[in-house]
Amino acid sequence: MAIPRQRIRLPQGAWRSAAMSLIRGDLWEGSHIQQLEQAVAEYISVKDAVTVPSGRAGFRFLFDTLGIAPGGEVICSAFGYPIVPFVVKSMGYKLKFVDCEMDTLGMDPKLLSEACSNNTEAVIATHLYGVPCQIQNIADICTANNAKLIEDCAHCYGATAGSKKVGSFGDAGCFSFETSKVINTMGGGIVTLSNPEVGERLRKLAADEPRNGFKWLARRLLKTSFEAAVTNPLLFNLGVYQMLRLASSGDGDNDRFASGYQGDEVSLKGKMGRYTNYQARLGLRQLQSIELRNKRRTANAERLIRQLDTKIPVQKPVSTDKDNYSNFMLVTILSNKPSELAAALLRRGIDSKHLYMRDCSRMF
C-alpha cells in the first residue's frame, strides 16, 4: 500500500456553503469574519486577532503597523520558508540570520542572544512542522534587548509551550489557513496581537485590500478539490502513486516528484485580496473540532516517531509534558542525503516532501 505525504481535505460543505453564500449575498462580507477573529483571540489568549489575505500578507501588514524603525535590523531563522526573509528585505529592513538548534529545528536561543545588538528592532521566531521552538527563551531575549517578537505560527495552530498557546508569546503571531495547514480555509490567515491598537491599524490595512472575484473563488474550490482527490489514500493507490513513480527522474534535488515539493514563487503574487466571510465560515466550523483533530494527528505522529527514533534522527519537542504540546503538522526526519532518501522512499511506496524549508541565509 502506498502512502501519500499528507492528506489534504476539502473543508466540509465547501461547495454547498459557497452556493448558499451566493444566494444569501454574504459571500464576501458578513458577521463570520468578526466571529472568527474573536474565537481565535479567545483560543490563543491574546487581546486581538485580525484575518488577512495570507500568512505572508500578515507579515507585510505587521511591518507597517508595529512601529519597527525603517531600515532597522530584523533577525530571522536561517532555516525556514524563504517568504519570511523575502518580505523583510523587500520592505527595506536589514536582515540577520540565526541558525537552528537540532531538536525543534527552531531558532537557537543561545545564538540569538549573541546575534542581538542595539540595532535589533525585531525577531521573527518560526515554529516548524507543528513543533514549537524554544519560544519562552526567545521571548526573554527579545524583552532584554527591547526587540519586537513576531511568531511565525503557520504550522502550529493549537500547539502549546509551557501551557501557553503559540502565537501569544510576543507582539504578534502569524497563522496560515492554506490548504495544507491545520485550519484550511482554502487560503488566508490570521494575525494574533497583544496590542488592540496595533490590531485596529492592521485591520484597516486588511480591509483596504481589493475584493477577490468569482474567478478567484472557482480557482480556490477547484484547486482544493483536486488536492483532496490526489491525496485521498484510495485514489493515491489506484493511480497517483504510479504516475509519481513514472514521472520521477531520479535527478536528485531537481526531481520535483521524488522531492514531493515544488516551491511556489517567493513573492506576494496571488496572496493578497480581502479575506472573505465565506472563508471565515469554513474556519469557524473547523475550530469546533480542532482539539480532537490535533489529538488524532499527534497520536499518529508519536506512534511513527517511536518506530523511527532508534533508526534515524527525528525532529522532537523540547519537552513532552502536558504543558508542552506539538500538533505535528508533519513528522520530520533529519538526513544529510535528503534527495536520495526521498527517492528511495518513493520506490518503496512512501511519498515524502523535502526542499520545503531551506537555508535562507544562502538566498538573501
pLDDT digits (tens, 9 = 90+) for 150-171: 999 999 999 999 989 999 999 9
36: left (phi over 0), alpha (psi -120 to 50) or beta: alpha
Structure confidence by residue, pLDDT tens digits, 229-276 = 999 999 999 999 999 888 876 665 555 555 444 555 666 665 789 999
Measured in Å, how far apart are the chain's first and last C-alpha atoms? 41
Q: Is residue 126 part of a domain?
A: yes
pLDDT at residue 303 greater than cutoff 60: yes
- The predicted structure's pLDDT at residue 261: 46
CA distance 338 to 353: 9
CA distance 129 to 131: 6
Q: Is residue 292 part of a domain?
A: yes
149 is in which domain, residue-wise?
Answer: 15-216+262-364
Q: Is residue 244 part of a domain?
A: no
Q: Is residue 161 part of a domain?
A: yes
Q: Is residue 230 part of a domain?
A: no
The stretch 339-346 carries a mean pLDDT of 89
Give Cα separations from 29 to 135, 202, 206, 207, 280 (angstroms): 36, 18, 13, 11, 10
Q: Which residue has the cell 516551491?
A: 263
CA 198, 200, 201 angle in degrees (round to 5)? Answer: 65
The domain that holds 50 is classified in CATH as 3.40.640.10
Q: Is residue 160 part of a domain?
A: yes
Contact 344, 253 (CB under 8 A): no
Q: Backbone phi, then psi, for 128, in 5-degree steps?
A: -95, 135
Q: Is residue 246 part of a domain?
A: no
> Could you give the number of structural domains in the chain?
1
Q: Is residue 241 part of a domain?
A: no
